[in-house]
């Protein structure tokens, strides 16, 4: 069995009044750089959803943040960098549904 990580998925809907392009621009150019400053962050990805192709999926994207443990995740979100990151969410997201999981890497490059 491979390495395990605590992973936080944040499933987002874009803020009312923002175009898809504005939503993507803010996430990729303002929010993502803030996220990459989180202490203890092992991996980070942004996954954008093409709502035109998947009209019944009620979200615009999701992020994946990997940490060694849930304690590391909690500490990161409570840090100054974490508070800044979370305070930025209302600038581009209507809501966020966080999910915590333990990822076990089975086939990994």
We report the CATH number of the domain holding residue 55 as 3.30.70.100
State pTM to two decimals: 0.90
Tell whether 40 is covered by a domain. Answer: yes
**Contact of 81 with 38, CB cutoff 8 Å:** yes
Number of structural domains, the chain? Answer: 1
Tell whether 88 is covered by a domain. Answer: yes
Tell whether 85 is covered by a domain. Answer: yes
Tell whether 92 is covered by a domain. Answer: yes
Tell whether 109 is covered by a domain. Answer: no
**Contact of 106 with 79, CB cutoff 8 Å:** no
Rg of the Cα atoms in the chain: 14
Residues 28-42 pLDDT 10s: 999 999 999 999 999
Residues 41-80 pLDDT 10s: 999 999 999 999 999 999 999 999 999 999 999 999 999 9
Secondary structure in 3-state letters for 12-73: EEECCCCCHHHHHHHHHHHHHHHHCCCCCCCEEEEEECCCCCCCCCCCCEEEEEEECCHHHH
Write out the residue range of the structural domain in which residue 76 sits: 15-104
């Amino acid at each position: 069995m491979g390495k395990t990580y605590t992973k936080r998925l944040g499933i987002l809907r874009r803020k009312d009044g923002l175009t898809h392009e504005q939503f993507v621009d803010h996430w990729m150019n303002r929010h993502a750089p803030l996220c990459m400053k989180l202490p203890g962050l092992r991996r980070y990805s942004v996954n954008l959803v093409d709502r035109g192709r998947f009209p019944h999926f009620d979200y615009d994207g999701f992020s994946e943040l990997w940490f060694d443990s849930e304690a590391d995740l909690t500490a990161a979100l409570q840090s100054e960098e974490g508070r800044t990151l979370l305070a930025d969410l209302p600038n581009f997201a209507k809501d966020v549904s966080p999910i915590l999981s333990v990822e076990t890497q089975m086939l990994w490059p």
